[in-house]
Structure 1
């Protein structure tokens, strides 16, 4: 018996590692391996023809610091994320609170709110491209009916980024609404009944009861919203291609252009490393700082 127990334990450990092996192989091959390779490539030059890459140290990062298009993309991305994150989360919460009530056609309203989420991003971008088309688009038809002058929404530097932001909020709000709706449905109905007996208003009930209990969901949604705010590329590619004059260029689209249009893979690797480090820092701040303010039940 004494020898059988360690043998059984050893066999169980081997069996557990064998079960984990496929997932480990996939992680190493498609996540950790490429990440390490990208980090190494960011310190080397771009291979050209038969010339292999050579070690250049921090030259790619120095070129990034001196690149005005990179800083323009950073500024645009900060404005984009600063608008899409609160707007999409706030709109998602309002929609969830609305469809959680007993309203007529509640199922249809929920489906309408969630529909943009299931549409492919390229399809969404093409739909909104029709809305923004000068003279013929839906938005132009509405403004023309009001007697307003025609406007090239995607071709103007002052409105291009704002138009892309509207599309992103419309696309993401329905996705975040599902999480808030699920969280609202798990709340004890007796809380609302007790608040009604005490004469609490809906706003007071939301601020003092619902919102604190929704904080775990808000933290999860916030993490996803921040990631989405820095990975936008599909809509930019269809709607504006970063124009006019880089007015709507975001970091990931700039990365795409550097790596696949100008074929400067080493510089693109350096941008990737910086972007990953920024997102990792924000995620760690959210989990280790904001998580302390979240009350779990």
Structure 2
């Protein structure tokens, strides 16, 4: 009963409230009913379309790469070799660092002229771009940071999944003369599909809820080149005080995540061996 109460107060009530406010033009002090006009205004907004494109691009580029690296590293550190415990800790370490601290670390890495990345590139005599100040590079720079952080987190799930797989299956495959790549393709990968589905859900959700890093590193700039949907919602609500538009953006975000979840389960659930 207490869990249902908390679920209602902190999940369902905010969603219903957002739906209600999405039909009003409001700045906290005054509200006017505008109906569906608010939705039309949002989908005709060039900034929203740019932000949505940025977020979709971030998700499409970071989710597969993070999952691939996580699975690869998990298989690597799952071997009973010397030093694997230390390697696991090193790969997982970024996930326990506070998000603000991570943003500051990467802010230092990307600092023009004095940052670690520019210092490294200067050794080869290559001119470095302004990683966070150039619209052509800023989103890519954010992607690298996201992959660095997420891959270690997802590795833990894959490592847990690998350690639950039956050794007898691999022994039988070895007796049959299966090569490592064949073993991975026919045994490991299919048996890890439940983990992959779960990780894909988490990775996609995470890619649409980035706000801390943007607040510290770019504020969505330059010229909205790195702006993402959740930060745009925050900015609309608490910088421009447009609660109606912020509510519409929230509903759009929830709709995207719900649609992606349904698609994942519709297309992947049939391919999963539980």
**Structure 2 unaligned regions, length at least 5:** none
**Residue of structure 1 in register with 2:212 after alignment:** 234
**Residue of structure 2 in register with 1:28 after alignment:** 8
How many residue pairs end up in the alignment? 274
Cα distance, 1:48 vs structure 2: 5.1
How does the TM-score come out when normalised to structure 2?
0.97
Aligned with 2:141 (options 143, 163, 184): 163
**Residue of structure 1 in register with 2:20 after alignment:** 40
Task: Give the secondary structure class of the aligned counterpart of 1:96.
Answer: helix
CA displacement 1:194-251 (0-9 Å, x = unmatched):
2222221111100011111001111111111111111111111111111111111111
**Residue of structure 2 in register with 1:3 after alignment:** none
**Residue of structure 2 in register with 1:138 after alignment:** 116
**Residue of structure 1 in register with 2:254 after alignment:** 276
CA contact 1:164–1:239 (8 Å) conserved in 2: no
Cα distance, 1:253 vs structure 2: 1.2
1:78 and 2:56 aligned: yes
How does the TM-score come out when normalised to structure 1?
0.90
1:286 and 2:257 aligned: no
Quote the Cα distance in structure 1 between the aligned partners of 2:220 and 2:159: 35
Cα distance, 1:78 vs structure 2: 1.0
Cα distance, 1:54 vs structure 2: 2.4
CA contact 1:184–1:214 (8 Å) conserved in 2: yes
Aligned with 2:170 (options 192, 214, 223): 192
**Structure 1 unaligned regions, length at least 5:** 1-19
**Residue of structure 2 in register with 1:59 after alignment:** 37
**Segments of 4+ moved more than 4 angstroms:** none
Cα distance, 1:138 vs structure 2: 0.3
Cα distance, 1:188 vs structure 2: 1.1
1 or 2 for the larger relative contact order (CA 8 Å, sep ≥6)?
2
Q: RMSD of the TM alignment (CA)? A: 1.1
1:117 and 2:95 aligned: yes
Quote the Cα distance in structure 1 between the aligned partners of 2:27 and 2:119: 51
